[in-house]
């Protein structure tokens, strides 16, 4: 009970195809279970895909027909949790008794049903969604397609002896959200990314050393040869994009900052790592950022976990 097997699913998306992406995710859930995993983690925005086109098709051009048509497709393939879009994945987690961290593009009804959010979903071993964390601040060109989230999903969850927390991509560079998770007892930090070892190589070990926790970074893959031919304005995007847009970089660092799995570049597959809770106890001996090495009488953090909405109905 002191150990946990984690599967890192570093895969190409079935890009902008919700149904096909769900089937590929289910395939990897089954692989993870057959490999003895207690938890499987997928990259940021994997379902149905990261908006790679924005940077390479003049995405900031206002009221542009090209951007409108692509965005309409993105909305169409986005996930409506309230509609039951994730039910096939929830059923697989329940059937195989495996927890899951999954990056999705969410089109939530509680924000009107049309705006898109980069959302991180945690599903427990009973197939129940325990939290949906909407990315607090989309990064750079992401702001052209994603809306800013809130603190509702900044929560931790028990998984065996471990306390799991998770953040999307460059949120992991934000000290205060990290601190909010540390203060809730996090000792297994999940960081999900669209895919690049330039992101994961430094920060994975840094967060492990700062928090004295295990840090699992999971990335996706994307190359120009995997762009579907029916993508609107395929020729324009294909002409302007690089041959590789996401090269992976999934990695795992131990609480002392050492690599358990060095960044995996360019390889699609399931990488399985075993973690041991005893290692956390040892590394918290001399530093515990929310415990014996904190000074709440000097500095404190306020966390607002209210789900933000433009409408509050009083009855």
Q: pLDDT (tens digit, 9 = 90+) per residue, 81-129?
A: 999 999 999 999 999 999 999 999 999 999 999 999 999 999 999 999 9
Mean pLDDT computed over 188-210: 97
Give the pLDDT confidence score for residue 233 in this predicted structure: 95
Q: Rounded CA gap, 13 and 24, in Å?
A: 8
- For every residue of 155-221, DSSP letters joined together read --EEETTEEEEEEEGGGGG-HHHHHHHHHTT--EEEEE-SS-HHHHHHHHHHHHHHHTSEEEEE--E
Domains of the chain: which residue ranges?
Answer: 3-283
**40 and 98 Cβ atoms separated by less than 8 Å:** yes
Return the percentage of the chain with pLDDT > 90, whole number. Answer: 97
Mean pLDDT computed over 240-251: 97
CATH of domain 3-283: 3.60.110.10
Q: Is the pLDDT of residue 1 over 90?
A: no
Give the pLDDT confidence score for residue 312 in this predicted structure: 87
Please state, as a whole number, how many other Cβ atoms lie within 10 Å of the Cβ of residue 228. 12
Q: What average pLDDT does the chain have?
A: 97
Q: What per-residue string of b and e applies to 193-215 under the rule 16 or more CB within 10 Å gives b?
A: bbbbbebbbebbbebbbbbbbbb
Q: Is the pLDDT of residue 130 over 90?
A: yes
Q: Is the pLDDT of residue 251 over 90?
A: yes
Q: Is the pLDDT of residue 188 over 90?
A: yes
Please state, as a whole number, how many other Cβ atoms lie within 10 Å of the Cβ of residue 29. 26
Q: Is the pLDDT of residue 226 over 90?
A: yes
**79 and 14 Cβ atoms separated by less than 8 Å:** no
Q: Give me the helix-helix angle, 197-211 and 175-183, nearest 10°.
A: 40
Give every CB contact of residue 198 below 8 A, 6+ residues apart in sequence: 249
Q: Rounded CA gap, 237 and 241, in Å?
A: 6
Q: Is the pLDDT of residue 47 over 90?
A: yes
Q: Just list the catalytic residues.
A: 44, 135, 169
Mean pLDDT computed over 238-244: 96
């Amino acid at each position: 009970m002191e150990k946990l097997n984690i599967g890192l699913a570093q895969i190409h998306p079935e890009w902008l195809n919700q149904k096909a992406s769900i089937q590929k995710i289910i395939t990897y859930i089954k692989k993870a279970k057959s490999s003895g995993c207690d938890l499987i983690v997928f990259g940021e925005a994997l379902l149905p895909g990261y908006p790679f086109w924005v940077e390479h098709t003049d995405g900031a051009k206002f009221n542009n027909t090209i951007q409108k048509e692509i965005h309409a497709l993105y909305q169409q393939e986005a996930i409506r949790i309230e509609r039951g879009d994730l039910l096939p994945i929830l059923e697989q987690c329940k059937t195989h008794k495996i927890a899951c961290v999954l990056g999705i593009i969410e089109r939530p009804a509680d924000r009107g049903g049309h705006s898109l959010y980069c959302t991180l979903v945690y599903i427990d071993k009973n197939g129940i969604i325990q939290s949906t964390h909407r990315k607090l601040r989309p990064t750079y060109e992401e702001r052209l397609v994603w809306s800013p989230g809130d603190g509702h999903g900044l929560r931790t969850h028990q998984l065996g002896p471990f306390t799991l927390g998770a953040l999307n991509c460059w949120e992991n560079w934000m000290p205060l959200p990290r601190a909010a998770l540390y203060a809730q007892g996090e000792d297994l930090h999940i960081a999900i990314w669209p895919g690049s070892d330039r992101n994961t190589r430094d920060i994975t070990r840094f967060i492990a050393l700062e928090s004295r926790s295990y840090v699992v970074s999971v990335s996706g893959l994307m190359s120009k040869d995997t762009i579907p031919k029916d993508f609107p304005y395929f020729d324009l995007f294909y002409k302007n994009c690089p041959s590789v847009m996401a090269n992976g970089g999934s990695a795992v660092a131990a609480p002392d900052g050492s690599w358990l799995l060095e960044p995996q570049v360019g390889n699609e597959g399931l990488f399985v790592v075993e973690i041991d809770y005893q290692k956390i106890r040892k590394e918290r001996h001399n530093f515990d950022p929310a415990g014996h090495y904190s000074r709440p009488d000097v500095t404190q953090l306020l966390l607002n976990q209210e789900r933000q909405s433009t409408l509050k109905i009083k009855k």
